[in-house]
């Protein structure tokens, strides 16, 4: 009896799904960490909320660049660098002591890393593996974003158990350790 052959493109889709889930989950940490950070530092909510707006702006500006980097260099290199940036930056948020640290680490660096591992580079990679079923493939890839939205209870558990600083380190280390090998 011969083993059924699994098309490698589906493995690439699964890896892309996991990368999307982890990358966007890292970005979505803001909703859980925001009240804890505001309370800990006593910062104004408006100034602190700029962090998330900055992330969205930087992500949008860097996404086209990320797509062109995938065209120019190996997708593995771009995704690995992005995984290192997004995971390392969110881990370093645990060391932040000033608002501008969060602006740079979360607002800019996490956004750059997410752009390098986000939908644009992943969809570019997947178009090479699938001539047909692109709707299904991109739907599966995009569902990684949707699943990332339910990560808040995990983050809340980490904050409650280890404190927000160590929780950031755990999230960043886990994301880096999973994304880079994928």
pLDDT attached to residue 94: 95
Q: How many CA atoms lie within 13 A of 115 on its CB side?
A: 22
Using a 10 angstrom Cβ sphere, with 0-12 exposed, 13-18 middle and 19 or more buried, the burial of residue 173 is middle
- Cα–Cα distance, 119 to 129 (Å, whole number): 15
Q: What is the DSSP letter of 44?
A: -
pLDDT attached to residue 47: 85
Instruction: Provide mean pLDDT across the span 94-116.
Output: 95
| pLDDT over 70 at 172, yes or no | yes
Give pairs for 16-19: CB < 8 Å, separation 24+. 16/122, 16/125, 16/126, 16/141, 16/144, 17/140, 17/141, 17/143, 17/144, 18/144, 18/178, 18/179, 18/182, 19/79, 19/83, 19/117, 19/122, 19/144, 19/179, 19/182
Instruction: Place 48 in a pLDDT band, splitting at 50, 70 and 90.
Output: confident
Residue-wise pLDDT for 134-166, tens only, equals 899 999 999 998 899 899 999 999 999 999 999
Residue-wise pLDDT for 8-41, tens only, equals 899 999 999 999 999 999 988 888 999 999 999 9
Q: Where are the beta strands (DSSP E) in the chain?
A: none
pLDDT attached to residue 1: 63
| pLDDT over 90 at 78, yes or no | yes
| pLDDT over 70 at 128, yes or no | yes
Distances, alpha carbon 135 to alpha carbons 75, 130, 179, in Å? 21, 10, 24
Distances, alpha carbon 63 to alpha carbons 19, 154, 166, in Å? 16, 28, 29
pLDDT attached to residue 164: 95
Q: Is residue 79 within 8 Å of 121, Cβ to Cβ?
A: yes
Picking from 91, 151, 83, 88, the residue whose alpha carbon sits closest to that of residue 122 is 83
Q: Is residue 169 within 8 Å of 91, Cβ to Cβ?
A: yes
pLDDT attached to residue 115: 95
């Amino acid at each position: 009896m011969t083993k059924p052959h699994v098309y490698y493109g589906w493995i690439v889709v699964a890896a892309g799904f996991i990368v999307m889930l982890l990358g966007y989950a890292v970005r979505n940490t803001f909703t859980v960490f925001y009240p804890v950070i505001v309370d800990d530092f006593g910062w104004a909510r408006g100034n602190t909320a700029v962090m998330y707006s900055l992330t969205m702006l930087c992500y949008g500006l860097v996404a086209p660049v990320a797509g062109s980097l995938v065209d120019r260099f190996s997708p593995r290199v771009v995704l690995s660098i992005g995984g290192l940036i997004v995971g390392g930056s969110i881990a370093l948020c645990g060391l932040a002591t000033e608002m501008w640290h969060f602006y740079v680490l979360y607002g800019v660096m996490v956004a750059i890393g997410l752009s390098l591992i986000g939908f644009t580079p992943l969809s570019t990679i997947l178009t090479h593996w699938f001539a047909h079923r692109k709707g299904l493939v991109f739907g599966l890839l995009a569902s990684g974003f949707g699943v990332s939205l339910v990560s808040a209870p995990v983050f809340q558990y980490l904050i409650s158990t280890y404190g927000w600083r160590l929780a950031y380190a755990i999230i960043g280390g886990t994301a880096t350790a999973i994304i880079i090998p994928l």
